[in-house]
Chains A and B, each alone.
Chain A
Amino acid sequence: MLKIEDLHARTEGKEILRGVDLEVAAGEVHAIMGPNGSGKSTLANVLAGRDEYEVTRGSVLYEGRDLLSMEPEERAVAGVFLAFQHPVEIPGVGNLYFLRTAVNSVRRARGQSELDPMSFLSFSDERMKLVEMDRSFMSRSVNEGFSGGEKKRNEILQMAMLEPKLAILDETDSGLDIDALRVVAEGVTALRSPDRAMVVITHHQRLLDYIVPDRVHVMSAGRIVRSGDASLAKELEANGYGGLGPSGDDQAVAVGAGR
């Protein structure tokens, strides 16, 4: 489904991704771990189409298409979803209205009929149960004044409503207490399916207790330096990232200590 080859990206004259290779098949869940500043969020943003990063080399194929040549909204329509590490607030724009606009934009672009307000409401009610949110969230402005945990749940709700094929979760578990973590993890698990792929960026082994990954990758200094199965995450938890292959900066952060 996703094939990244030798991906290089830079911003403000600084090379951040320095040759990422990654292949993800439908139905798989991949975890990406690694120290702060190693380029995990940058990778996620480049895949979603943030133009602040300039791709200098490499290619990304998504379902056989050249992902890098597509606009962000085209990628969304094609099924790419990014749960942001730091979801932005949009003052004055109601959450419900935002979600309906998003869902209907995607439906329209996919040639499906738009949902009228009533059917949308019952659809959102149903999906909100998944992340244990209530309607009061919907009348608030997008992410405005939301707690960290509420923002993350809102991201998962959006994912559940947009039904992507490739979901990238950027530290969706960070800063969550154990209950919120469970809610988020259950939400993600419910969306796991044979035709959906997920890339889960995390610092914590504990999320991977709920969402058992097919593959675990370790990123360091803009490259994937090690890959393995679920046991790699456990190993990392025991030993930290220290001594993991070539590292541009000598950060050696213990797993779980990062943000």
Chain B
Amino acid sequence: MTQVSSDVRELASREYQYGFETVVESDAVPRGLDEDVIRLISAKKNEPDWMLEWRLRSYRHWVTLEEPTWQNVKYDPIDYQDVIYYSAPKPKKKLASMDEVDPELRAMFDKLGISLAEQERLSGVAVDAIVDSVSVATTFKKRLADAGVIFCSFSEAVQNHPELVQKYLGSVVPYRDNIFAALNSAVFTDGSFCYVPKGVRCPMELSTYFRINAADTGQFERTLIVADEGAYVSYLEGCTAPKRDKNQLHAAVVELVALEDATIKYSTVQNWYPGDAEGRGGIYNFVTKRGKCAGARSKISWTQVETGSAITWKYPGVVLQGDDSVGEFYSVALTANRQQADTGTKMVHIGKNTRSTIVSKGISAGHGQNTYRGLVKMLRSAKGARNHTQCDSLLLSRDCGAHTFPYIEVKHPTARVEHEASTSKIGEEQLFYCRQRGIPEEEATSMIVNGFCREVFKELPMEFAVEAQKLLSVSLEGSVG
């Protein structure tokens, strides 16, 4: 499992390898944002009135908000009027099967090494590929349908399962939650929807590859996953973006709902363009992710490996409402060059005997700044609740930084919170030990760093774990010392 593999050598010599742009005809709305743009988006998507109303309510709330300043990241103010809020690749015609997917798009997937056909044949992973806000291909529909699992684009869900969408949309992340959630709620163009019915174990891991493609198109996906009583689902999210000069705003919302005895496992490997060595370009990743353990004994587990983006700002959290419910957060965040990350989690304990585990591994290299910010809140009702937090930082250079801000609020006397934190420089001794055994410095570094992250990697599905390790090694290239 700890294989850093000889691919590292080869991979390490590349620059950001996903920096290409596909030429697909785009169908975009005018730059900027007002109620007309929202009406236009909604009309293009042929949405029911309730959906448009919800968007407009969100928009009207959003215009009253100001960007917060408490986060430990720095960026130039975002000009929201300079963003194109909707752009859809024009499919040549309605797609009946994989073969009909735009060859340009398929070529792009091939370049990314995630050819859908391959995926379908070999890996048993259903991929809902999102290219610039509209799903163009969804596979494995049938097998999932046989199990009763609904897995489709958000737009399709609005058309075909309005009762489910209306019931759960905004139930975990209301549009009033924060400025980016409000913006997303107003303008989201597409995303994924998944519903696993009572007692069903989803027969395969669900996976979405997000991709930001058309220039200057902000991305506002919306993901909603509902696991009904006793259901189980594991969801993988993996990201790459083409290289470009202008910072791109990415403000997604992910909502998870686990009912009684249900389990949702959500894994992310995020590798968006981080900007160049001076920090130019790169994605702003301002995402709101939250899960609600609504039922007793339910469980939600977030695992994230964040190596990309110029700025990462997100706190996947769990609201532990059901008694005996469990929330987990496993995170590796790497910042190199001029990357900034302010990430962590929020665990809100409401039910009795709720338990949460937080394992955060922050790695800083170059001039990277890495902040862990975590909130553990135990309400008056949270009798016997438990949290264990472990928060480790590894510094790989003189100019990088690690910061830890744990916020703890405990309102019930029987609730217990444990917090452990450590910061270490990459061990000179460890490095020397490896090199004395003949292992070159670069490889030794990635080996030690991967070892440091092992507790998190073991939570990832196998293929993802291998990918995550490679990503880490590639991202570390040249940033040691």
Surface stretch bound by B, among A34-42, A81-89, A212-220: A81-89
A48, A87, A91, A106: residue with the most chain B Cβ atoms closer than 10 Å:
A91
| Cα(A73)–Cα(B437), bound, Å | 7
A50, A93, A103, A106: residue with the most chain B Cβ atoms closer than 10 Å:
A93
A52: interface (CB < 8 Å): yes
Surface stretch bound by B, among A94-102, A122-130, A203-211, A244-252: A94-102
Tell whether, in the assembled complex, residue A102 and residue B2 are in contact, meaning their CB atoms are under 8 Å apart.
no
Complex interface: chain B residues within 8 A of A227 (CB): none
- Nearest residue in B to A87 (C-beta to C-beta)? B433
A160: interface (CB < 8 Å): no
Complex interface: chain A residues within 8 A of B452 (CB): 91-92
Chain B, 444-457, contact with A by CB distance < 8 Å: what is the 0/1 string? 00011011111100
Tell whether, in the assembled complex, residue B427 and residue A93 are in contact, meaning their CB atoms are under 8 Å apart.
no
A90: interface (CB < 8 Å): yes
B2 is contacted by which of A49, A71, A94 (Cβ under 8 Å)?
A94
| Cα(A92)–Cα(B429), bound, Å | 16
Tell whether, in the assembled complex, residue B429 and residue A158 are in contact, meaning their CB atoms are under 8 Å apart.
no
A91 CB to nearest chain B CB (Å): 6
- Asked if A73 meets B433 with Cβ closer than 8 Å, knowing A90-B451, A92-B455, A93-B2, the reply is no
| Cα(A75)–Cα(B433), bound, Å | 13
Tell whether, in the assembled complex, residue A141 and residue B437 are in contact, meaning their CB atoms are under 8 Å apart.
no
A230: interface (CB < 8 Å): no
Complex interface: chain B residues within 8 A of A106 (CB): 437-438
Chain B, 417-445, contact with A by CB distance < 8 Å: what is the 0/1 string? 00000000001111011111111110100
B35 CB to nearest chain A CB (Å): 53
B414: interface (CB < 8 Å): no
| Cα(A101)–Cα(B433), bound, Å | 13
A49, A52, A87, A97: residue with the most chain B Cβ atoms closer than 10 Å:
A97
**Chain B interface mostly:** helix
B163 CB to nearest chain A CB (Å): 47
- Nearest residue in A to B458 (C-beta to C-beta)? A92
B46: interface (CB < 8 Å): no
- Asked if A162 meets B450 with Cβ closer than 8 Å, knowing A90-B430, A92-B455, A105-B443, the reply is no
A24: interface (CB < 8 Å): no
Complex interface: chain A residues within 8 A of B433 (CB): 84, 87-88, 90
B437 is contacted by which of A50, A92, A162 (Cβ under 8 Å)?
A162
Complex interface: chain A residues within 8 A of B436 (CB): 48-49, 72-73, 75-76, 81-82, 84
Chain A, 141-181, contact with B by CB distance < 8 Å: what is the 0/1 string? 10000000000000000100010000000000000000000
Size of the A side of the interface (Cβ < 8 Å), in residues, is 31
Tell whether, in the assembled complex, residue B451 and residue A102 are in contact, meaning their CB atoms are under 8 Å apart.
no
A25: interface (CB < 8 Å): no
| Cα(A213)–Cα(B4), bound, Å | 41
Complex interface: chain A residues within 8 A of B1 (CB): 94
Complex interface: chain B residues within 8 A of A97 (CB): 2-3
- Asked if A93 meets B438 with Cβ closer than 8 Å, knowing A52-B428, A72-B432, A88-B433, the reply is no
A101 is contacted by which of B428, B429, B432, B443 (Cβ under 8 Å)?
B443
A115: interface (CB < 8 Å): no
| Cα(A137)–Cα(B188), bound, Å | 53
Tell whether, in the assembled complex, residue B429 and residue A76 are in contact, meaning their CB atoms are under 8 Å apart.
no
Complex interface: chain A residues within 8 A of B438 (CB): 73, 76-77, 102-103, 105-106, 109, 162
A76 is contacted by which of B2, B437, B450, B455 (Cβ under 8 Å)?
B437
Complex interface: chain A residues within 8 A of B427 (CB): 88, 90
A105 is contacted by which of B429, B432, B440, B454 (Cβ under 8 Å)?
B440
B454 is contacted by which of A49, A87, A92 (Cβ under 8 Å)?
A92
Chain B residues 1 to 25 lying within 8 A of chain A, measured CB to CB, are 1-4
- Nearest residue in B to A97 (C-beta to C-beta)? B2
A90 CB to nearest chain B CB (Å): 5
Chain B residues 22 to 60 lying within 8 A of chain A, measured CB to CB, are none
- Asked if A91 meets B437 with Cβ closer than 8 Å, knowing A97-B2, A105-B443, the reply is no
Tell whether, in the assembled complex, residue A93 and residue B448 are in contact, meaning their CB atoms are under 8 Å apart.
yes
B3, B438, B448: residue with the most chain A Cβ atoms closer than 10 Å:
B438
Chain A residues 48 to 84 lying within 8 A of chain B, measured CB to CB, are 48-50, 52, 71-73, 75-77, 81-82, 84
A93 CB to nearest chain B CB (Å): 4
Tell whether, in the assembled complex, residue A102 and residue B439 are in contact, meaning their CB atoms are under 8 Å apart.
yes
B390 CB to nearest chain A CB (Å): 12
A74 CB to nearest chain B CB (Å): 9
| Cα(A134)–Cα(B2), bound, Å | 20
- Nearest residue in A to B3 (C-beta to C-beta)? A97
Tell whether, in the assembled complex, residue A76 and residue B428 are in contact, meaning their CB atoms are under 8 Å apart.
no
Complex interface: chain B residues within 8 A of A72 (CB): 432, 435-436
Tell whether, in the assembled complex, residue B435 and residue A71 are in contact, meaning their CB atoms are under 8 Å apart.
yes
A81, A101, A109: residue with the most chain B Cβ atoms closer than 10 Å:
A101
| Cα(A94)–Cα(B455), bound, Å | 13
| Cα(A92)–Cα(B449), bound, Å | 9
- Nearest residue in B to A76 (C-beta to C-beta)? B438
- Nearest residue in B to A144 (C-beta to C-beta)? B451
- Nearest residue in B to A141 (C-beta to C-beta)? B451
Chain A, 102-114, contact with B by CB distance < 8 Å: what is the 0/1 string? 1101100100000
Complex interface: chain B residues within 8 A of A73 (CB): 435-436, 438-441
- Nearest residue in A to B437 (C-beta to C-beta)? A102
Tell whether, in the assembled complex, residue A93 and residue B447 are in contact, meaning their CB atoms are under 8 Å apart.
yes
B450 is contacted by which of A88, A93, A102, A109 (Cβ under 8 Å)?
A93
Offer 26 A-B interface pairs, CB within 8 angstroms, sorted by A: A48-B432, A49-B432, A50-B432, A72-B435, A72-B436, A73-B438, A76-B435, A77-B438, A81-B436, A90-B430, A90-B433, A90-B448, A90-B451, A91-B452, A92-B450, A93-B448, A94-B2, A97-B3, A98-B437, A101-B439, A101-B443, A101-B447, A102-B437, A105-B437, A106-B437, A162-B438
- Given known contacts A48-B432, A73-B438, what 20 new A-B pairs fall within 8 Å (CB)? A48-B436, A73-B439, A73-B440, A76-B437, A81-B436, A84-B436, A88-B429, A90-B433, A90-B448, A91-B452, A91-B454, A92-B451, A98-B437, A101-B443, A102-B439, A103-B438, A105-B438, A105-B440, A105-B443, A106-B437
Q: Which 8 A-B pairs have the closest CB atoms?
A: A92-B451, A92-B454, A93-B451, A76-B438, A102-B437, A106-B438, A72-B435, A88-B429
Q: What is the interface of chain A, defined by CB distance below 8 A to chain B?
A: 48-50, 52, 71-73, 75-77, 81-82, 84, 87-88, 90-94, 97-98, 101-103, 105-106, 109, 141, 158, 162
